[in-house]
Amino acid sequence: MKARVHITLKDGVLDPQGKAIGHALGNLGFDGVNGVRQGKVIELDLAATDRGAAEGQVEQMCRRLLANTVIENYKIELID
Amino acid sequence: MTADIAITPQIVAEHGLSESEYDRVLEIMGREPNLLELGIFSVMWSEHCSYKSSKKWLKTLPTEAPWVICGPGENAGVVDLGDGQAAIFKMESHNHPSFIEPYQGAATGVGGILRDVFTMGARPIANMNALRFGSPAHPKTRHLVAGVVAGIGGYGNCVGVPTVGGECNFHPAYDGNILVNAMTVGLADSSRIFYSAAAGVGNPVIYVGSKTGRDGIHGATMASAEFDDDSEEKRPTVQVGDPFTEKLLIEACLELMATDAIVAIQDMGAAGLTSSSFEMASKGEVGIELDLDRVPVREDGMTPYEMMLSESQERMLMVLRPGAEDTARAIFEKWELDFAVIGRVTDSGRMVLRFGGAVVGDLPVAPLADAAPEYDRPHEAAPVPARLDPAATPASDDLGEALVRLLGTPDLASKRWIWEQYDHMVGADTIGRPGGDAALVRLHGTRKALAITTDCTPRYCQADARTGGAQAVAETWRNITATGARPLAITDCMNFGNPERPEIMAQFVGAIAGMGEACRALDYPVVSGNVSLYNETNGKAILPTPAIGGIGLIADCDKAVSIAFPAEGLDVLLIGDTRGELGQSLYLRELHGKEEGAPPAVDLTAERRNGDFVRDAIHDGIVSACHDLSDGGLAVGIAEMALAGNIGVDITVPEGLAIPLHAWLFGEDQARYLVTVATPQSAGILAAAAAANVPAISVGRTGGSDLTVRNGFTISLATLREARESWLPTYMGTA
Amino acid sequence: MKAGVIVFPGSNCDRDVMVALEQATGRPPAAIWHRETVLPDLDLVVLPGGFSYGDYLRAGAMAAQSPIMRAVVAHAEAGRHVLGICNGFQIAIEAGLLPGALLRNAGLHFVCRDVWLRVENAATPFTRGYRGGDVIRVPVAHHDGNYFADPETLARLRGEGRVAFRYCAADGDAGERANPNGSADDIAGILNERGNVLGLMPHPERLADPALGGTDGRPMFTALVESFA
């Protein structure tokens, strides 16, 4: 089973990279971009076959290492 | 299996081999090669690996001196620093990859040159770089500057080697071909230098570092091909650097080198496993058998062709003493790096490649490596322009305004925006930070220091390659001398256009001739180098750019001086003759739109005499600051000293000046230095100079917060600083 | 003082801080590999600068999970001292020894230059070599030094005297241009609640030798030695 973890900065945490991307998009002539927040995607190839077990395992991974919950949110997506 | 693919003339052409070269392949093989073998010939005989256009001329450079331990031909040059210490250094280009993907191109350039140096047993202690970009007005320039600088910093900062300086020019001739030349200097025990010649039949051949992926396949042939408009589609061949793995590789290799396990070691650079294994076999005059099934790979289904030609980064090949595998394996496992025994040394003189139980390639080593093509390409130099009469050059209405404008031009403006993105202090031995003539890096735990610099004035080389080549060498020698250090040796990075054009080949030949003259006159040999040809797009070549990296040694770093005025009330002396050389000057180019005339003459006897005089005066403690004069001449040099020390200066123009004031202020005459001395010592040093036949005059006195030229102009340092510091950050949009 | 420096894969200022410690104590500190699980008897543990694990994922995140870090946390919980410099500050935060987070610099560039710091709390073993309000010059060299914490945490740090250093201008004044990374409240270094863990982005070990152009970093090391004499 594969899992995809989406990590994004929490609202209210300054995101200078997102700001710079938004600025660059404006320079390229893309109007109407009201905001940009960037983050990262981590893909995991898991041995687990049970969705519940996999989800629990990835949840632990996020809390312990993959995300810094002081500043980041995470969302887990399981792909069979 | 690769042998199934028929070798058509089209496939041969795609591998960059000419018909006559392919005939030679058939002769050496005694049969038609398979695709893998053809690929190996292709990279080994590429310009990048074989130096086929340049070899004839490179051989004419002086490479020896009593302090040279190892000259060109190994991974890097080695010079003796006394006390059992040696410096190992080299400069290398990563031009094409950096144009296509600036961050990764520049980063992997740094990674590659670091490996060249630690492969030989040195801990890297400093990085430098020489960068050339297109016109600031060109739409791609800003993006390229941002990416290259971030890439150099991203890699060097992470591996923990300080990037202590460099140079950066802009010119429209580089619009389609930027230059990224990276230099590394390392420190080793002079009794423990590691070489690449494989030896000992039956000894294991070891692969360490990162796994092999499909990145950079045919990078070496790409680096030898002219660009066309499709080049941007070659993106997938650019390698990605992993500085963290490189850092681990440095530590692991140095740890292993402290044992006696290694017989020979070679990094996998351009053309990866192919060139490293052939290099080791050919230098040792042995054969090598590789079992490609054992090569650590990152992707499934990789073919022998891909494994042999991959340019994945952060990999090394070693031959170990028999039985040393376990010691070595334990060290690499500690550092969490791949370690695999992939072959053995044989006495067959052949490279035999096995995969899946079959022999998939079998090539003779010596003919392939040694009998690579060598060309004597036709060369025809353009006439050298006439020297300009200073009296016939255009004056400027307001010379003060001219100075302010010059300081704010791209080539003279402060490069602080660049070097503040480099960790130039890690290691806690950087005693001369970026921004001076040469950086100074202390040899850890001693009072000794190395002075390190890179330099080249391509506009001089364009007008007269021979003078330009000599000037580039002389200027690095002067940069080092100006710190108080004794220049030892250079590395060269020869960046030129298409050598198949006689006028380009003539630039190469001329530059080498000039460099050779300067090296001989200054006792300053070439110990390593790199050639990058075909730097042109749609027939438009770069300016000839023989970038020189020089190193020098100072025995007591407390005696070193910087360019900064250290105090008020000091006399400023000008050492060297001023004839007002304005040909190819920045003054003419930037303020009057003229790139004309002969470059300043290089008088190597005067260079040596003046430089030796200045160095002695620094050692004697008489000179308290020193700056060599080059781009922008006297006025720019004195402004840089004032700004660095934040102390003003009052300049007195000599009476009865035989040339116009603008030529005195902005002429780029060579072999000159500005020094500060305490007033009571001025007369003595002027007399000593006269006795040594060294031209020297007093030109001013430090103090205040303005730069004043008597009967000329007064400008505040604040105005000069604003002009010099603001251009690059404003251009890059971060001011 | 018995000091030890933890060496992580990718640490690169470990030697520099060892030199500064040795200058202050007269003997070399212990170098402790990250895979160790037990610390020797130490007064001070230093988490050095560098790029542990290449700063991949988040600066300091993977080093914070190293086997030795359990022992370092226990050392701190026992009231002994921990100093995290640059990447070491990032590791200390990721390991929960200090609050907040260190984000990408506001200017998005790596920045290496001397900065001015105002000493905000001179009453700790780390800072007692300075006087409160002293302005010192120390280099920074980082890409992720932009200190972030929620408003309550910032208020606590301020209220409890736990801001050890702030970026300032040469004359000691605050100012946006003096702050190299956009950190909240110009914070350059903070203490834990108990005052025995200090994390800071600037590198005092890089200006502790006159040949390098300054010695403003040296009092931190000499003060530690005096504290544990």
Q: CB distance C103–A71 less than 8 Å? A: yes
Identify whether B519 is part of a domain: no
Amino acid at C192: N
Looking at the predicted structure, is the pLDDT value of residue B266 above 80?
yes
Percentage of chain B exceeding pLDDT 90: 87
Q: How confident is the model at residue A69 (pLDDT cuts 50, 70, 90)?
A: confident
For B459-479, what is the mean pLDDT? Answer: 98
Least trusted range by pLDDT, from A65-69, B212-216, B289-293: B212-216
pTM of the model: 0.94
pLDDT for position B227: 56
Q: Which of B378, B518, B444 is nearest to B126 (CA)?
A: B444
User: Which CATH number do you get for residue A33?
Assistant: 3.30.1280.10
pLDDT digits over B117-169, tens only?
A: 999 999 999 999 999 999 999 999 999 999 999 999 999 999 999 999 999 99
Q: Could you tell me which chain A residue has the CA closest to the CA of C181?
A: A16
Phi (first) and psi of residue B130, to 5 degrees: -125, 120
pLDDT digits over B633-688, tens only?
A: 999 999 999 999 999 999 999 999 999 999 999 999 999 999 999 999 999 999 99
pLDDT for position B735: 52
Give Cα separations from B535 to A75, B132, B217, B531, B538 (angstroms).
48, 12, 20, 11, 10
Looking at the predicted structure, is the pLDDT value of residue B201 above 50?
yes
User: Which CATH number do you get for residue B296?
Assistant: 3.90.650.10
Residue B428 touches chain C, beta carbons under 8 Å:
yes
Q: Which of C134, C60, C51, C133 is nearest to C97 (CA)?
A: C60
Query: Domain count of chain A?
Result: 1
pLDDT digits over C54-100, tens only?
A: 999 899 999 999 999 999 999 999 999 999 999 999 999 999 999 99
Q: How confident is the model at residue B235 (pLDDT cuts 50, 70, 90)?
A: very low
Domain termination site, one of B304, B339, B372? B372
Asked if B338 contacts B210 with a C-beta cutoff of 8 angstroms, the reply is yes
Which of C100, C108, C182 comes nearest A70 by C-beta?
C100
CB-CB neighbors (< 8 A) of A70 in chain C: 99-101, 148-149
pLDDT for position B234: 41
Task: Return all residues near C98 (Cβ < 8 A) that are at least 6 apart.
Answer: C84, C89, C92, C190, C191, C192, C197, C199
Domain termination site, one of B372, B400, B427? B372
Q: How confident is the model at residue B278 (pLDDT cuts 50, 70, 90)?
A: very high
Query: Domain count of chain B?
Result: 2
Residue C205 touches chain B, beta carbons under 8 Å:
yes
Residue A11 touches chain C, beta carbons under 8 Å:
no
Is B92 marked within a binding site? Answer: yes
Q: How confident is the model at residue B218 (pLDDT cuts 50, 70, 90)?
A: low
Identify whether B262 is part of a domain: yes
For B315-337, what is the mean pLDDT? Answer: 95
Q: How confident is the model at residue B69 (pLDDT cuts 50, 70, 90)?
A: very high
DSSP class of residue B446? S
Looking at the predicted structure, is the pLDDT value of residue B4 above 70?
no
Is B231 marked within a binding site? Answer: no
pLDDT digits over B612-631, tens only?
A: 999 999 999 999 999 999 99
Looking at the predicted structure, is the pLDDT value of residue A8 above 70?
yes
Highest mean pLDDT among B53-57, B220-224, B586-590: B586-590
Name the residue with higher pLDDT: B263 or B269.
B263
CB-CB neighbors (< 8 A) of A16 in chain C: 103-108, 146, 182
CA–CA dist A58, B340 (Å, integer) = 33
Q: Subunits touching B (CB < 8 Å, at least 3 pairs)?
A: C
CA–CA dist C220, C189 (Å, integer) = 13
Q: Which of C15, C87, C17, C16 is nearest to C55 (CA)?
A: C87
For B459-468, what is the mean pLDDT? Answer: 98
Phi (first) and psi of residue B559, to 5 degrees: -85, -10
| Cα atoms in the Cβ-side hemisphere of radius 13 Å centred on B127 | 35
How does DSSP assign chain C, residue by residue?
--EEEEE-TTB-SHHHHHHHHHHHHSSPPEEEETT-----S-SEEEE--B-GGGG-SSTTTTGGGSHHHHHHHHHHHTT-EEEEETHHHHHHHHTTSS-SEEEPPTT-S-EEEEEEEEE----STTTTTS-TT-EEEEEEEES--EEE--HHHHHHHHHTT-EEEEEE-TTS---GGG-SS--GGGEEEEE-TTS-EEEESS-GGGGSBGGGTB-TTHHHHHHHHHHT-
Looking at the predicted structure, is the pLDDT value of residue B275 above 80?
yes
pLDDT for position A13: 83
Distance, in angstroms, between C54 CA and closest chain B CA?
5
Asked if B424 contacts B160 with a C-beta cutoff of 8 angstroms, the reply is no
pLDDT for position B2: 44
CB-CB neighbors (< 8 A) of A65 in chain C: 57, 61-62, 65
Residue C61 touches chain B, beta carbons under 8 Å:
no
Q: How confident is the model at residue C26 (pLDDT cuts 50, 70, 90)?
A: very high
Q: Could you tell me which chain B residue has the CA closest to the CA of C14?
A: B427
CB-CB neighbors (< 8 A) of A68 in chain C: 58, 61, 94, 101
Residue C60 touches chain A, beta carbons under 8 Å:
no
Asked if B114 contacts B159 with a C-beta cutoff of 8 angstroms, the reply is yes
pLDDT for position C76: 98
Find the domain containing B289 and state its range. Answer: 194-372
For C14-38, what is the mean pLDDT? Answer: 96
Distance, in angstroms, between C123 CA and closest chain B CA?
28
Locate the DSSP E strands across B163-213. Answer: 163-170, 179-189, 204-209
For B395-400, what is the mean pLDDT? Answer: 94
Rg (CA), chain B: 26
Identify whether B165 is part of a domain: no
Distance, in angstroms, between A37 CA and closest chain C CA?
14
Q: What residue spans of B565-695 are helical by DSSP H?
A: 586, 592, 604-619, 633-645, 661-666, 679-691
Residue B158 touches chain C, beta carbons under 8 Å:
yes
pLDDT for position A35: 87
Percentage of chain C exceeding pLDDT 70: 100
Find the domain containing A70 and state its range. Answer: 2-79
CB-CB neighbors (< 8 A) of C110 in chain B: 150, 153-154, 157, 421-423
Looking at the predicted structure, is the pLDDT value of residue B232 above 90?
no
Identify whether B606 is part of a domain: yes
Looking at the predicted structure, is the pLDDT value of residue B229 above 90?
no
Is B312 marked within a binding site? Answer: yes
Give Cα separations from B163 to B125, B127, B419 (angstroms).
9, 4, 8
- B54-60 own/partner pairs: CB under 8 Å, 24+ apart: B54/B494, B54/B499, B54/B508, B54/B531, B54/B533, B55/B374, B56/B374, B56/B375, B56/B376, B57/B508, B57/B509, B57/B512, B58/B512, B58/B529, B58/B531, B60/B512, B60/B513, B60/B516
Q: CB distance C206–B425 less than 8 Å? A: yes
CA–CA dist B266, B288 (Å, integer) = 14
pLDDT digits over A13-56, tens only?
A: 878 788 878 887 887 789 889 889 899 999 999 999 999 999 99
Asked if A54 contacts A44 with a C-beta cutoff of 8 angstroms, the reply is no
Q: B469 pairs with which residues across the strands?
A: none
Identify whether B217 is part of a domain: yes
For B494-509, what is the mean pLDDT? Answer: 97
Residue C111 touches chain A, beta carbons under 8 Å:
no
Q: How confident is the prediction for chain B on average, in pLDDT?
A: 94
Domains and CATH numbers, chain C: 3-227 (3.40.50.880)
Identify whether B601 is part of a domain: yes
CA–CA dist C229, B370 (Å, integer) = 67
Domain termination site, one of B317, B346, B372? B372
3-class DSSP state of B277: helix
Tokens of C48: 């050095």
Which of C19, C112, C209 comes nearest B424 by C-beta?
C112
